[in-house]
Chain A
Amino acid sequence: MSAYDEERLARLIGMLPPAPDGWVQAAQELPAARRGLDQLVARAETDAAFRAAVLADLESALQAEGVEPQPQVVEKLRRLLADG
């Protein structure tokens, strides 16, 4: 007899409900977000005024680049600009 009766399988399926849609979408859009970050940083490295503007308002700079300013993304941009 199988150790996996209906009740056990049902319980195991129920243990993994979907993560919130917004979380999944943000993670799936990571490649696009990273591209946007790279473009921002590249421009900031050659344009001091732009760099100052980005540093003054990281969230708006990301939004202008079409990148959702998730806290992790904002922090990543802050680090990249600090390292640059």
Chain B
Amino acid sequence: MGDEDAWRELVDRFSRYVYAIAVQGFRLPQQDAEDVFQEVFARVYERLDSLREDEAVRPWIAQLTRRLCIDRLRAGTRESDADLDELPEVPAEDVLTALEEAFDVHEAMAELPENCQQILDRFFARDESYRTIGDTLGLPAGTIASRISRCLDKLRDAFEGRNPPPAPSGGQVT
């Protein structure tokens, strides 16, 4: 795979995550969120050579996105009449934790057959109707609900295969 293909894939893989941190996590307006989004990927591109370890990329992108969102909020506070000592509103940690978990689920989704990826993404992430999904994928609309259910089963298996649930506590270790 060429470098540019790899770059496109990286952007594709992390674009939703960065977008969600900015818009859902920090509730930035669209224009600010777009600036943060482009700045994140510009900095990732500049630092790519030092980020060859795949496992290092995600936490670095998450941290960078959060930092740029906070910078943006602070800049907004400075431009307004708000007290300069007042900290901008940062998201509750559980929102960011949920976004991490959502990213893990999407990573597991990428392992599913293409039709399952499409159905789950279109229904839950893009809010498309059964009819639209059926028309787009050439499937009878009446079969979409059962396909969603089957695909969710596959997703659960894939997700728990990647992230085994913790062993029940309280049992005696022998």
Number of interface residues of A (CB under 8 A): 28
Chain B residues with Cβ below 8 Å from A10 are 124, 152
When each residue 1-39 of chain B gets 1 if its CB lies under 8 Å from chain A and 0 otherwise, what string results? Answer: 001100110011001111110001000000000110111
Q: Within 8 Å of chain A (Cβ to Cβ): is B42?
A: yes
Q: Within 8 Å of chain B (Cβ to Cβ): is A24?
A: yes
Given the complex of chains A and B, what is the CA–CA distance between A27 and B15 in angstroms? 9
Chain A residues with Cβ below 8 Å from B38 are 23, 26-27, 70-72
Question: Majority SS of interface residues in chain B?
Answer: helix
Q: Within 8 Å of chain B (Cβ to Cβ): is A18?
A: yes
Segment of B50-58, B78-86, B103-111, B136-144 engaged in the interface with chain A = B103-111
Q: Are A23's CB and B120's CB within 8 A?
A: no
Shortest CB–CB separation between residue A6 and chain B, in angstroms?
5
A19's partner among B16, B98, B155 (CB-CB below 8 A) is B16
A12's partner among B4, B7, B105 (CB-CB below 8 A) is B105
Q: Are B11's CB and A24's CB within 8 A?
A: yes
When each residue 97-132 of chain B gets 1 if its CB lies under 8 Å from chain A and 0 otherwise, what string results? Answer: 011011101100100000000001100111100000
Chain A residues packing against B (C-beta within 8 Å): 2-4, 6, 9-10, 12-20, 23-24, 26-28, 30-32, 34, 70-72, 76
- Of the A-B pairs whose beta carbons lie under 8 Å apart in the complex, a sample of 27, sorted by A's number, is A2-B160, A2-B165, A3-B165, A4-B156, A9-B156, A10-B152, A12-B98, A13-B102, A14-B127, A16-B17, A16-B19, A16-B99, A16-B103, A16-B125, A18-B16, A18-B126, A19-B37, A23-B15, A23-B38, A24-B12, A26-B38, A27-B38, A28-B8, A31-B3, A34-B45, A70-B38, A72-B42
